[in-house]
Amino acid sequence: MASSMNFGEFSRSQISDVPADLTTPRALHYKQTIPRFPEEAVYIYSFHEGRMIYADGWEEVLGYRDEEISMLLIVNSSTPAFAPFSNELNDKALQFILSKNEDLDKYSFSIELKKTHKQGHEVPIVARVGVYEAVQGRVVSIIGRFLVNRSITFGKVMRYAAYGPEKQEFEEELNKSLFYHLAISDKEREALALAAGGYSFKKIAKQLKISVSAVEKRINPLYERFKVENIAHLVSFAKDNHILS
Q: What percent of the chain has pLDDT over 90?
A: 53
Split into its structural domains, the chain has a count of 2
Mean pLDDT, rounded, for 37-62: 97
In a domain, 181, yes or no: no
Mean pLDDT, rounded, for 59-67: 98
**pLDDT at position 89, please?**
86
24 and 132 share one domain: yes
Does residue 189 have a pLDDT over 90? no
**pLDDT at position 5, please?**
40
- To 10 degrees, what angle do helices 186-196 and 167-177 make? 90
123 and 223 share one domain: no
* Res. 3 pLDDT band, cuts 50 70 90: very low
In a domain, 123, yes or no: yes
Q: What are the contacts of 232-239 at 24+ separation with CB within 8 A?
A: 234/192, 234/195, 235/192, 235/195, 235/196, 238/157, 238/192, 238/196, 239/196
11 and 51 share one domain: yes
Mean pLDDT, rounded, for 51-70: 98
154 and 213 share one domain: no
- Decide which of 49 and 84 is more confident: 49
d(CA 54, CA 85): 26
In a domain, 245, yes or no: no
Range in 60-64, 180-184, 194-198 with the lowest mean pLDDT: 180-184
**pLDDT at position 179, please?**
55
Give the residue numbers spanning the domain of 45: 4-176
Does residue 1 have a pLDDT over 70? no
- Decide which of 42 and 223 is more confident: 42
Select from 155, 176, 197 the last residue of a domain: 176
Q: What is the domain-level CATH number for residue 203?
A: 1.10.10.10
221 and 147 share one domain: no
* Res. 14 pLDDT band, cuts 50 70 90: confident
**What is the pLDDT of the chain when averaged over all its residues?**
88
222 and 129 share one domain: no
86 and 202 share one domain: no
- Decide which of 52 and 153 is more confident: 52
146 and 193 share one domain: no
Select from 144, 176, 208 the last residue of a domain: 176
**pLDDT at position 158, please?**
80
* Res. 41 pLDDT band, cuts 50 70 90: very high
137 and 204 share one domain: no
Q: Going by C-beta distance under 8 Å and a sequence separation of 6 or more, which residues neighbour residue 239?
A: 196
d(CA 224, CA 205): 22
**pLDDT at position 6, please?**
56
- The structure's pTM equals 0.78
In a domain, 154, yes or no: yes
10 and 108 share one domain: yes
Select from 176, 194, 221 the last residue of a domain: 176
Q: What is the domain-level CATH number for residue 96?
A: 3.30.450.20
230 and 169 share one domain: no
Q: Going by C-beta distance under 8 Å and a sequence separation of 6 or more, which residues neighbour residue 55?
A: 19, 20, 22, 41, 42, 43, 44, 66, 67, 69
Mean pLDDT, rounded, for 133-148: 95
The SS3 call for residue 180 is coil
82 and 191 share one domain: no
